[in-house]
A and B are shown apart, each in its own frame.
Chain A
Amino acid sequence: NAGVMQNPRHLVRRRGQEARLRCSPMKGHSHVYWYRQLPEEGLKFMVYLQKENIIDESGMPKERFSAEFPKEGPSILRIQQVVRGDSAAYFCASSEEGNIQYFGAGTRLSVL
C-alpha cells in the first residue's frame, strides 16, 4: 500500500505525558502537512514540512507542540505535557510539488 501511513491509530495518554504521532508520506512525496480535527469541527492546519525543514508552522500552538521531518524516517508530531484539550484526531497529508494533498487515516489521541 503506497498510501500515507500514520501510527498509532489510537493513542491514550494521561495528562502531563508526551504524545508522539508518526506519519510516513506516500512514496515519492516530499511534502508533509499536519492537521488537527477537534470534535464536531473541520480540520485545522497546523504545520507544513519538507525534508529537514519546517516551511510553515503558522497553525501550531506556540507551546508544547513540535514537528519534524528528518532526512530518513517518518515525520513526527510531538506533544509534550498533554492536556485534555489536546484530545483530537490528528491527520497527516502528503503531496508532491503542488496542491493535491492525500491524507492518512489519522491518529486519535485521547488524554485522560
Chain B
Amino acid sequence: AQSVTQLDSQVPVFEEAPVELRCNYSSSVSVYLFWYVQYPNQGLQLLLKYLSGSTLVESINGFEAEFNKSQTSFHLRKPSVHISDTAEYFCAVIVTGANNLFFGTGTRLTVIP
C-alpha cells in the first residue's frame, strides 16, 4: 500500500527566508510524485510534478523539489519566500498506471512579514 508523510503540519517562516517542506512516501512500486498548493478557500493547484527524467523539478514561481529514490523523499524548497506563498501544501503520489492520488496531510506555510 502507498502512503505519504508530511512531517510538519505548520511551518512559519519570515519573508525572504528559505523554506523546505518535507515529504516522504512509502511504495513498493514505482510512483509519480506531485506537489499541490491550496490557497485559502480555493481548490488545489498543481505546483510541480515528477514523472521521469531529471530528479530536480521546478515551478514557475521559484519552488523546486528533488526526487530522492533511496530516501523515498520529494522535499519542496524555495530559497526566498514571499508573503503570497502563504498557503497549504500537499504532497501526493500515484502508482504508475493507477487511478487515485494518495495525499499527505498537508503543511501549512505561513510567511511572516
Contacts and interface: CB of A to CB of B under 8 A. Distances in A.
B70 interface: no
Please tell me the size bucket of the interface on A: 20 to 34
A48 interface: yes
Interface string B27-46: 00000100010000011111
Contacts, number: 54
Contact of B46 (A43, A102, A105): A102
Q: Is the interface of B mostly helix, strand, loop or mixed?
A: strand
A42 B106 contact: yes
A56 B98 CA distance: 10
A93 B106 CA distance: 18
24 contacts: A33-B99, A33-B100, A35-B103, A40-B105, A41-B105, A41-B106, A42-B4, A42-B90, A42-B103, A43-B44, A43-B90, A43-B92, A43-B103, A45-B102, A56-B99, A56-B100, A59-B100, A91-B43, A91-B44, A99-B32, A100-B46, A103-B36, A103-B45, A105-B43
